[in-house]
Amino acid sequence: MAVMKILVYGDPVLRKVAEPVTDFGPNLEQIAADMLETMEKGDGIGLAAPQVGLSIRFLVIGLPVEEEGVRKMITLTLANPEIVAESEELATCEEGCLSLPEINIQVERPEAVTVNYQDLQGNPQVLEADDMLAVVVQHEMDHLDGVLITDYLPMLQRTMMRSKLKRLSEEHASSTQG
Ligand code: CO
């Protein structure tokens, strides 16, 4: 297993529409393991493949939940996810992103979604997500289409954040040179 480098705002890979996953099995298992390790190290609860420079429709989730007083971890690996149903009810949550350090943005999304996807072996699966899991899966799926949480900001707030984002992408550019 290896920790991968997380791309930061300004990297063009984050803005690309990712390609479908076609290579299942050992290769994808390795990518999943590395991405989960990278996500945990970054204290994230989800990570999409484009964030580690892989422009494929793949994401991982590691969400701590408490059920009847028992803490456990929901770990999910989704290839080629597709939302097939969503609730009319919307919910707003303050979201962060490992590719946008120190930025939190209120994002409104459907409160529950049904997602068709393929597992690491390519078998079709269905995920019924609500609450925090619905937030994470929709956030990570946005990454597969090159969408970032800053895109949800109203125009005025986006303008106000422009200098902060510019600084982020410049810091990133200089750190890759150094
Ligand atoms: Co993100």
Q: What is the pLDDT of residues 149-160, one digit of tens each?
A: 999 998 888 888
Mean pLDDT, range 9-31, rounded to an integer? 97
- Cα of 89 vs centre of ligand 1, distance in Å, is 23
Active site residues: 140
- What residues are neighbours of ligand 1 (ion), with CB under 5 Å? 97
**pLDDT band at 88; cut points 50, 70, 90:** very high
The string of DSSP letters for 110-160 reads ESEEEEEEE-TTS-EEEEEEEHHHHHHHHHHHHHHTT--GGGGS-HHHHHH
- Cα of 88 vs centre of ligand 1, distance in Å, is 24
- Cα of 99 vs centre of ligand 1, distance in Å, is 6
CA 20 to chain CA centroid, nearest Å: 16
- Confidence (pLDDT) at 175: 60
Mean pLDDT, range 2-20, rounded to an integer? 96
Q: What is the pLDDT of residues 89-147, one digit of tens each?
A: 999 999 999 999 989 999 999 999 999 999 999 999 999 999 999 999 999 999 999 99
- Confidence (pLDDT) at 47: 98
Mean pLDDT, range 69-84, rounded to an integer? 95
